[in-house]
Amino acid sequence: MKKYSDLVNEIKNSNKFKNSTWGSINPEYVARMQLQNRFKSGIEIAKYNASIMRKDMDDYDNDSSKYTQSLGCWHGFIGQQKLISIKKHFDTNDKKYLYLSGWMIAALRSQFGPLPDQSMHEKTSVASLINELYTFLRQADARELAGLFRELDKTSDEKQKNEILNQIDNYQTHVVPIIADIDAGFGNEEATYLMAKQMIEAGACAIQIENQVSDEKQCGHQDGKVTVPHAEFLAKINAVRYAFLELGVEDGVIVARTDSLGAGLTARIAITKEVGDLGDQYNSFLDTEEVNETDIKHGDVMINHHGKIVRPKRLPSNLYKFKEGTGEARCILDSITSLQSGADLIWIETEKPHIGQIAEMMNEIKKVVPNAKLVYNNSPSFNWTLNFRQQVFDTWESKGKDLTQYKRNELMDEKYDSTELAKEADEKIRTFQADAANEAGIFHHLITLPTYHTAALSTDNLAKAYFGDDGMLGYVKNVQRQEIRQGIACVKHQNMAGSDMGDDHKEYFAGEAALKAAGKDNTMNQF
């Protein structure tokens, strides 16, 4: 963006201002409004953030400690407050993203009401939420810059003025990349393309798509998951890429997710033309039995597999079973195929947070695609405490360490919280992201559902106190007092909602005649 003073002068000296009836329009106010709204469209946002993601990917390739992170967000306000908090605590939002989980869309944003994550929510819900999030993030920019402009107007000290101008000129936006979950595309490849366009037009620079059966998908950590042959999935990756290119977002990022580790079923037998092709590799994982002509029954499906007639095991649901224990091999093949066919990042959904398991698969993938990078779900569906305590237990057991005071299946019990084992497990949880980024190729760490859980927890705590014996003190002590002392901007909720900006605009538009809300009697002056 241009420097504030340069922009003011440019506007002031333009012919439109010199030779018009705009005498009541203040060029300085125009410059302020332009700086407060630097992104004029979702496409601008998508292009801006796509370039950031590409830079971040390059940074990670050069130094694995430079991984990226995101939290799942289900409302514009939640995303806004997250970014405000990040900037407050860390002075930068570098390498911090937003993630739009299909799970939370289904559970919290569907017009049908709360739903499981099974692709049953409205197809346009994700695009709508992207638009909402960027509306709130752009408002966070406008609010913060408005505060700087007010400070600029109040001071007559030149040194202080220059410091404020420097903050304005070097302002870092709250608008960060969004990785948006398009599920399995909600239909065929044309439907996927159309929905991808909506998401990109809303501002998404990265779209995550998964290889489950469209419109029949299951949540990543539930049973009954069904994958599709590679050709079907790759057609949808192509559809997303075409959507990016049509809209001029050449740096757009595609995240190809595989659920093969937990998917024991497939919807279709793959088309294969010769031994060893992609369809043949997919079919090789099918659970089959060799038969001869006399064994064939009415309605049986047979395939000629490497010169043998075999019967794939078909369920009453008309789905076909994969061989037990083939999940990791299928994940590896899925990931390599996706990366060789247009995907930029891969996502492997696992059943537990285990760096060794993740690294084993990533090492195999990197033999073929050396710069492969993983997006990983640090899922709230995992019992992190129990998983890591059991991992430490198993490590200690392998080393012959005395474990008589511990019972492996009871390690969640709080009686273990102060033990050496629990402390080591907690340290492994604390360093999980850095360790996994270094050892297992994880470029982006996300948590899909933290704001779902924090909303529930904080509401429970408030309800228990406010409707109990604490009464109003339950809110004042546990919420408002903490907001004030921790410097939570939202304590001035009228300011957060845009009241002060509204006053600024009224003054721009009406001058001295403006009726402002921020007078001496405004209750926000108490904070």
Distance in angstroms (rounded) separating the CA atoms of residues 450 and 387:
18
Mean pLDDT (whole number) for 418-431: 98
Asked whether residue 261 carries a pLDDT value surpassing 70, the answer given is yes
Q: What are phi and psi of 174, to 5 degrees?
A: -80, -10
pLDDT recorded at residue 60: 98
Mean pLDDT (whole number) for 440-462: 94
Asked whether residue 175 carries a pLDDT value surpassing 60, the answer given is yes
Asked whether residue 207 carries a pLDDT value surpassing 60, the answer given is yes
| Catalytic residue of the set 73, 205, 219, 331 | 219
pLDDT recorded at residue 523: 78
Q: What are phi and psi of 305, to 5 degrees?
A: -115, 105
What the chain holds in terms of domains, given with CATH numbers, is: 42-286+322-457 (3.20.20.60)
Mean pLDDT (whole number) for 33-58: 97
Asked whether residue 29 carries a pLDDT value surpassing 70, the answer given is yes
Asked whether residue 218 carries a pLDDT value surpassing 70, the answer given is no
pLDDT mean across residues, the chain: 94
Q: Structure tokens of 418?
A: 């102060």
Each residue of 291-312: pLDDT tens digit? Answer: 988 889 898 999 999 999 999 9
- In Å, the largest CA–CA distance within the chain is 98
Q: What are phi and psi of 69, to 5 degrees?
A: -140, 155
Measure Cα distances from 62 to 66, 233, 358, 366, 499 in Å.
9, 30, 21, 15, 45
Mean pLDDT (whole number) for 47-70: 98
pLDDT recorded at residue 295: 85
pLDDT recorded at residue 220: 57
Mean pLDDT (whole number) for 20-27: 89
| Cβ(263)–Cβ(322) below 8 Å | yes
Of 63-77, 209-223, 447-461, 481-495, the one with minimum mean pLDDT is 209-223
Asked whether residue 203 carries a pLDDT value surpassing 90, the answer given is yes
Radius of gyration of the chain from its Cα atoms, rounded to whole angstroms:
27
Of 114-118, 238-242, 243-247, the one with minimum mean pLDDT is 114-118
pLDDT recorded at residue 16: 83
pLDDT recorded at residue 524: 77
pLDDT recorded at residue 527: 81
Mean pLDDT (whole number) for 37-59: 97
pLDDT recorded at residue 474: 95
pLDDT band at 131 (very low <50, low <70, confident <90, very high): very high
Asked whether residue 352 carries a pLDDT value surpassing 90, the answer given is yes
Mean pLDDT (whole number) for 10-38: 91
Mean pLDDT (whole number) for 92-114: 92
Q: Is 219 labeled as catalytic in the residue annotation?
A: yes
pLDDT recorded at residue 518: 79
Of 244-248, 354-358, 379-383, the one with minimum mean pLDDT is 379-383
Distance in angstroms (rounded) separating the CA atoms of residues 279 and 518:
67
pLDDT band at 521 (very low <50, low <70, confident <90, very high): confident
Mean pLDDT (whole number) for 168-195: 95
Distance in angstroms (rounded) separating the CA atoms of residues 389 and 384:
8
Asked whether residue 221 carries a pLDDT value surpassing 60, the answer given is no
pLDDT recorded at residue 272: 96
pLDDT band at 118 (very low <50, low <70, confident <90, very high): confident
Question: Residue 299: which region, alpha, beta or left (left: phi > 0; alpha: psi -120 to 50)?
Answer: left
